[in-house]
Structure 1
């Protein structure tokens, strides 16, 4: 025992050992207190595990004859939370002081953590749906599928867009389609086709009408004869 080899009496040995172990205990308490104040919530673990870690350090501090009040533990946990809990921290400030207990804080933090996870999963689903939607949406500028008008890479010159790969309509002066595919021209083209068909039918009917003006339909077994012109009959 190097620490007591120079002691001459039992009392000197006892006092020496007592001093050494008291100093060791003080150092241990200081280290534990330092761990308590330096511990941070990193976000990778759930909040209940972080609180359990803080409580374990507090237990060790108390075994080393140190003391940490409950309100200090609550303050430590609140100050260690990350950005995801900033709204929770603001709401906690409005809780009455007599209700700001460790058990109340733990229960509320677990609920808040579950709510945050739910929002993150919902946001991830919405983002996936948006990406899927852009794969089928057509750009109103270039007419291509896969992006929106605001994300189009066509060069904007003044109030119009210019790109060699983007079709330009000479009818409406917009990009994304040609003159032949412009909806107005499509309707006019169909209207012209319908008019031509109607004109052909009317013309055919007129020719047929003229060709039978002087024709008779005779039947030897009929009691009466027919003709398209009434003037051909004598009263």
Structure 2
């Protein structure tokens, strides 16, 4: 199989189908909900975590080929290989992209190991060659990018708007953006808080005008 094409896909308001009722199905459904998708899960049985998951539509019966109609993404997560293959075939016939858990050859896409810190998303993939390695690398990234990075990224987003408004020339703005994105600025944020970064941004703006 060739290389995968990395992409961040907007699923807001889009229909996504998960076939299966276990813990894997629950993880898929939860991540899809977090992305704003309309999630339907089809299975004769559901684990307790799925039943408690708010916002998901549960269809408690065996999968039917028509369940894939209108879906953008389809996940086959059952422990029945024949059923998963059937789900994949039905999905492709309807033009949906399908992911079959633990069967890369039947997947149109794979889901990387992902770290999310607010607006910051970092994904690691080995193209399904070594998922355990991808998970380990993602865990290492958690130490490099602690939860406070969510607030740091949000602050940079606010400052970007202010800088664009205050500094007309693109050539003068870019050095400011680069300095604010530097590790030294993150260190300043972590040690002294957001106001210290705001002061730095004001100083950089004043120098550029």
Bin the TM-score by the shorter chain. under 0.3
- The structure with more radius of gyration: 1
Structure having the higher strand fraction is 2
TM-score normalized by structure 2? 0.26
TM-score normalized by structure 1? 0.24
Structure having the higher helix fraction is 1
Q: Which has the higher contact order (CA 8 A, sep 6+)?
A: 2
